[in-house]
Amino acid sequence: MGVDGTVAAERVAVLDFGGQYAQLIARRVRECHVYCELLAGDTPPERLRSGGFAAVILSGGPSSVYGADAPFAHPGLWSCGLPLLGICYGQQLLAHALGGRVEPADHGEYGGAELEVVAAEGVLAGLPQHMPVWMSHGDRVLSPPPGFAVLGRTATTPVAAMGSAARRLYGVQFHPEVAHTPAGMQVLRNFLHGVCGLRGSWSMGRYAEAASAALAAEVGDGRAIVALSGGVDSSVATALVYRALGDRVTAIYVDHGLQRAGEVEEVTAGFAGAFPGLRFVHVSAADRFLAALRGVTDPEEKRRTIGRTFIEVFEQEAARLGPVDFLVQGTIYPDVIESGAAAGAATIKTHHNVGGLPERMRLRLLEPLRPLFKDEVRTLGEELGLPPELVWRQPFPGPGLAIRILGEVTEARLELLRRADAVVREELGPHGLGREIWQGFAVLPGARTVGVMGDGRSYGELVAVRAIASLDGMTADWARLPHEVLARLSARLVNEVPGVNRVVYDITSKPPATIEWE
């Protein structure tokens, strides 16, 4: 079994042509219990073979095959013998490369459409004659390549699905990965199980087993440390590496004093309860962080200060443990994608994690969660026995509340924000909003406003509430909270948090804003 818990020949590559749904395709494939990874659109077939990939899915993308900068697949892909499914732009690439006719768009087809199934076979096997599908394209395929059959069409797209059973090459113009195509999962299952013959034996339990065996083999007799921040990713990484290494790993939890109310206690008690044998070092360094942050108001400077102090404190603690060979980090797939995409791109924010530590301390880096998405990390956490309060906590930034206090961070403002944040989390939790809302929190913009409380004038702090829905934190929309919830939030924040006299709700999506305010 491989490190990812797959048996040989049960891995699928999703080649990414820049479509907004490429990650979603990967998730759907894994929901079919087939392990899959996103790779660059022009990945050569030799890499696919050497990586053990048994099938390929081409994602959609914003380009036209006739565009000047159109991304193309590697020319050897079509004849390399691997079964292939092209989705949207992926189908157009397939048609264009093998001699079909792709028509540049006068107008596109966006949103719901009805697919007429011309031949219920291949990826459309077992589907009804008419079914709703989701479209989002400009160009369309007018005729399939020689040897391909038209499997489906819509009123405006003559080739909405096509295939060659002999070559195991298929294309669909619609998006089977989105919920607006109700039979989409059936299309993917047809491809994975029917066309490719994959059994679908991947599960998070297998992942846990295989990843822990791989960690044990890699570390051998060595010793490891893990930087536990209390966030979901580092908690799950800690649980996994503890399973693999037992007392040869030490978790170092640096409490920077920028945590939410009750958080430090929750994390320490959660770990002590779930893994009584875990070597756990809790470092209280709040004073040191506050001192370093004194007078710092620039957002980037704040992040750098926290990152630098974190490294200093962590290094000091690690030195007390004696020789260590490995550092475990909870990097997950979206982090990998974001940093890849960020090569040469503008730095929006300097993300604070333990970057810089491995080189400085001459440690080898282990990232056992690297191929996983956030929701998969949570499933793995449950599998490993982490308490639900830790597994289901909201993502929380490494620099903590410091980047939600605009201007200087002081103990008094931290305390105020902690109280406000606790109210926001309490109000969002019981409405079932807890799991639907990716993050919901309070921000102190640092503005003071005039109010009237009792019969007197007040001049208090403004609190902003931010609640967002998101799939992966990369894009987000503000949550349409019921008015009653907003009303209660406003009343409770003003009544229960001394010093607050006004509340606003942040109604900006990402982009153009980011989720955090700094």
The footprint of ligand XMP (CB under 6 A) covers 349, 351-353, 395, 397-399, 439, 473, 510, 514-516
- Closest by CA to 273, choosing from 389, 138, 110, is 389
Cα–Cα distance for residue pair 86/65, rounded to 1 Å? 13
Please tell me the distance from the alpha carbon of residue 356 to that of residue 237, in angstroms, as a whole number.
19
Smallest distance, ligand XMP to C-beta of residue 77, A: 34
Distance CA 351, CA 130 (A): 48
Catalytic pick from 175, 196, 352, 518? 175
- Encoded tokens for 229: 């921040």
175 carries an active-site annotation: yes
Helix (H, G, I), strand (E, B) or coil at 52: coil
For the question of residue 88 being annotated catalytic, the response is yes
- Please count the other Cβ atoms lying within 10 Å of the Cβ belonging to residue 112: 12
In whole angstroms, what is the distance from residue 66 CA to residue 504 CA?
Answer: 48
Comparing CB distances to ligand XMP, the nearer of 88 and 267 is 267
Tell me whether residue 175 or residue 466 sits nearer to ligand XMP (CB atom): 466
Query: Scanning the structure block, which residue is given the tokens 């034996």?
Result: 201
Tell which residue, 255, 269, 260, has the closest CA to residue 426. 260
What angle (nearest 5°) sits at the alpha carbon of residue 438, between those of residues 434 and 440? 70
Residue with tokens 């809302």: 437
Active-site entry in 109, 177, 263, 317: 177
CB 354 → ligand XMP: shortest distance, Å?
10
Shortest distance (Å) from residue 399 CB to ligand XMP: 5
Catalytic residue among 10, 33, 88, 317: 88
For the chain, how far is it from start to end, CA to CA, in angstroms? Answer: 43
> Judged by CB, which is closer to ligand XMP: 194, or 334?
334
Q: Which residues contact 476 (CB under 8 A, 6 or more apart)?
A: 438, 468, 469, 470, 509, 510, 515
Query: Shortest Cβ distance from residue 90 to ligand XMP (Å)?
Result: 29
Is 96 in the active site?
A: no
Q: Which CB, 194 or 395, lies closer to ligand XMP?
A: 395
| 273 versus 511: smaller Cβ distance to ligand XMP | 511
> Nearest approach, Cβ of 464 to ligand XMP (angstroms)?
14
Active centre residues (catalytic): 88, 175, 177
